[in-house]
Amino acid sequence: MSYLRPSYHPDGVIKGETSLDQGLYTVIITAEGLPPLRYQYPLRVQMINYANIFRTAVGP
């Protein structure tokens, strides 16, 4: 898990870096406000879908 401390971003861009192993992740962005906002984005890091490769090799 990676966490960026809350801070002010005058240009509206949040910058951060972390190292991720291959796998599925969820990026969660929470913003204070009324109502508070919470965004979730799926993130997939260099995973090979072997099922698709198998289907392509075998055919229909």
pLDDT digits (tens, 9 = 90+) for 40-49: 999 888 878 7
**pTM score, two decimals?**
0.51
For residue 2, the model assigns a pLDDT of 67
State pLDDT tens for residues 13-47: 777 777 888 888 888 888 877 888 899 999 888 87
Which residues lie closer than 8 Å to 28 by C-beta, 6 or more apart?
38, 39, 40, 41
The b/e string for 3-34 (b: 16+ C-beta within 10 A; e otherwise) is eeeeeeeeeeeeeeeeeeeeeeeeeeeeeeee
In eight-state DSSP terms, residue 11 is T
Tokens of 35: 């109502």
